[in-house]
Structure 1
Amino acid sequence: MKRPRMNRQQVVPWSRERAKAVRNELPDRFKPAVDVPAGIGVRKGELFAFSLDDVDRDRAVVHVCRQVRLVAGKPVFALPKGGKTREVPIGGALLAQLDACADQFPSTPVTLPWSHPDGKATTVNLLMVDKVGRVLTPKEMDKIWIPALKAAGVDPHTRADGIHALRHLYASVLLDAGESIKALSKYLGHSDPGFTLRVYTHLMPNSHERTRRAIDVFFAKGLGFAAVGEVADAA
């Protein structure tokens, strides 16, 4: 018999207002640190490795195909967590915002070894790099992120206020819009939709909310039903 699983601490996504406040305090070249994870749900390492070259503009999807990770203290490009790539839809408004950022701060070619420090040299045109054109690392990002948190009033802050909070915000927005757990799991790069459900089930609209929304949409289509009194016996 398996032992009962310990209850995980429930994820509490940031509000849109908090995300906007922190974004406003970031230097312009680092605003994608909010836009990308909130808009396509990537992890921190995937954010650091994000390139506009990964966007299929005809299909409006992003191919999440790499991350930046530290191996023996050195940054390398590698496959995303779990060794699996994925496709994530990207909205036109977000893409336009990222294109505008790239116009102001052109993408920078960065060469890193693949997978391990002695791996094959791989060059990627990164959207977001540090101020001298090097790949971002968690330590360097903290020097930018933490002052923005404090300036936005997120002080004191905890580990829950890292960039990963925006991935949770992405999940909450999709669930609130009625996206399925199966689709969300795929977009987040989870190997098991059951894991996604366990993490985010408390964020799903309850049955009353879903029912009201569904019926409101149904009646908003103007089907010309008779008044309730005229069909009272129809049921």
Structure 2
Amino acid sequence: MGYVADRWHKTRPNPDDPPCGEHKGLVASKNHGKGKRWQARYDDPNGREITSLHKTKTEAEAEIVKQESAKQTGSWLDPKAGVVTVEKYALETWLPAQGIIGRSVKEYRGAIERYLIPEWGNRQIRSIRPSEAGAWQQLLTTKYKLSGGYPNRVARYVRGVFKLAVVDRVIAVSPFDGIKAPILVESAVFPPDVAEVRQLIAAAYKPLWGAMIELTALTGLRSGEIRGLRLSRVDFLRRTLHVEQQLVYEAGRGLYFDDLKTGAGRRVLPLPKRAVDLLAAYVAAYPPPGGGEWEGLVFSMPGGKPIGESTLDWAFKNTCRKAGVEPRHWHELRHHYASVLIAGNENPKVVQKRLGHKDVMTTLRTYAHLFAEAEEQTRDVLDAAWAEPGETAAQQESPQQGGRIPESRRSTGALKQVSS
């Protein structure tokens, strides 16, 4: 249990100490008249002494009761913890706690340094109010002119900083609690169909680009995944592809193999026969490097050097121009793969797994309109299932069109059958 100390007077005065001229029966200490008189002292949950100063003894006693009660309920917070600045906590505590790879660290740090630190960097983390949190989110679009999904992404990072501060017991409540995050805007994707992909493959001016276009359309691999594909990750016997790493670029380091950003990205893809045959023919004609840093790299430039992302984008744009189709981005081949799966009635969870999305909501947000296009097929399936003997789905008229629902198909008739 804590106790209250009188800073202005000695607890064990010497016999010859003169009495305090202001407070009868007490002996003044060297702190007499300096600052607040009463000091509340108590131990934190780890046994470390915590002190705070107060004007009156009653206030100091109330502080001790408050802190001891918080320790009992498990809601205790170090009163001094929240004085850490937003910048210091974000960069020295939150960022290292994310468990992310080098490129993502650069991305996260960049967002914090560009959009958070200029606004709140020098502020104590406990000083940020909910009203300020809401106003800061508005600045992402009004001041920093972010659009699309970027306001949501940046806000997600910053909200995470304060969420961790709550978990760390640095602050009691996040200022973002009760503040809605910016709407996540997902642009509708309109990927090339199979006919257009065939055009692109035929127009590719190198077997390298043609093979990469076709394999990406058949697997949905990201640019870094297809460029970093190694022969050892292909199981020709079981017709599977193990997606475990990617080729990335970092300033000052160049191109190198790196782990995928999330655990969901690590996946095993079933390969169609066309993809297996394509890979087998390509590696037979263009054997991968047999040793060195790029050993087993399936797709490479002359001399076995890896392909940079800008090189691949340039080649793909030229291929689009040569094929006479609208300019596209390489990522649209991944969208093509997803659209083929969705058209084939694969459920969203399967599509999520094949694409390596972290959660199914990402898949649904990105391809919602493609799933919606399958609604007519759902109607046909249900109509066929409920058709009367000898009746085709096309012969079924809806009541709105003036058709009459047969007695056996009316809801009341169905209820009678159930009750019997």
TM over 0.5: yes
Aligned to 2:320: 149
Alignment of 1:15-26 (within 5 A): 15-26=193-204
Q: CA, structure 1 residues 143+207, in 2 after alignment: closer, same or farther (shift >3 Å)? A: closer
Deviation per residue, 1:72-122 (Å, 9 max, x gap): 25001011232541111111122112211222212234644xxxxxxxxxx
Q: Distance in 1 between matches of 2:382 and 2:285?
A: 43
Q: Are the aligned partners of 1:171 and 1:184 in contact in 2 as well (CA < 8 Å)?
A: yes
- Of 183, 186, 190 in structure 1, the residue corresponding to residue 350 of structure 2 is 183
1:88 maps to which of 269, 276, 293: 269
SS at match of 2:282: helix
Name the structure 1 match of 2:368: 201
Partner AA of 1:72 in structure 2? A
Shift of 1:12: 1.1
Correspondence for 2:89: none
Report if aligned partners of 2:245, 2:260 keep a CA contact under 8 Å in 1.
Answer: yes
Query: Which residue of 1 is the match for residue 255 of structure 2?
Result: 75
Secondary structure in structure 1 of the residue aligned to 2:248: strand
How far did 1:143 drift?
3.9
Distance 1:207 1:142, change over 3 A: closer
The alpha carbon displacement at 1:190 in A equals 0.8
Name the CA distance, whole Å, in 1 between partners of 2:287 and 2:231: 11
1:140 aligned onto 2:311 = yes
Show the 5 A alignment for 1:1-235.
1=178, 2-3=180-181, 5-26=183-204, 27-73=206-252, 74-82=254-262, 84-109=265-290, 111-112=292-293, 123-154=294-325, 157=327, 161-204=328-371, 205-212=373-380, 226-228=389-391, 235=409
Query: Percent identity between the aligned chains?
Result: 25
Shift of 1:3: 4.5
User: What is the Cα deviation at residue 31 of structure 1?
Assistant: 1.5
Q: Which amino acid aligns with 2:220?
A: G
Shift of 1:144: 2.4
1:170-205 superposed Cα distances (whole Å, 9 cap, x missing partner): 000000001111111111111111111100011113
How far the C-alpha of 1:227 sits from its partner, in A, is 2.8
**Any idea what SS the aligned residue of 2:262 has?**
helix
Amino acid across the alignment from 1:52: L
Higher strand share: 1
Q: Is the 8 A contact 1:33 1:163 kept in 2?
A: no
Q: TM-score, normalised by structure 2?
A: 0.47
Which amino acid letter does the alignment assign opposite residue 377 of structure 2? E
Q: Equivalents in 2 of 1:214, 1:59: separation in Å?
A: 36
Q: Describe the SS at the equivalent of 2:190.
A: coil
Q: How far does the alpha carbon of each residue in 1:31-86 deviate from its partner, in whole angstroms, 9 at most, with x for none?
A: 22212211111100001011232122343221001100002250010112325411
The unaligned stretches of length 5 or more in structure 2 are 1-177, 393-405, 410-420
Cα shift at 1:129: 0.4
Highest RCO, 1 vs 2 (Cα 8 Å, sep ≥ 6): 1
Tell me which residue corresponds to 1:119: none
Equivalenced residues, count: 213
CA RMSD, Structure 1 to Structure 2 (Å): 2.5
| Contact preservation (8 Å) 2:229, 2:298 | yes
TM norm structure 1: 0.80
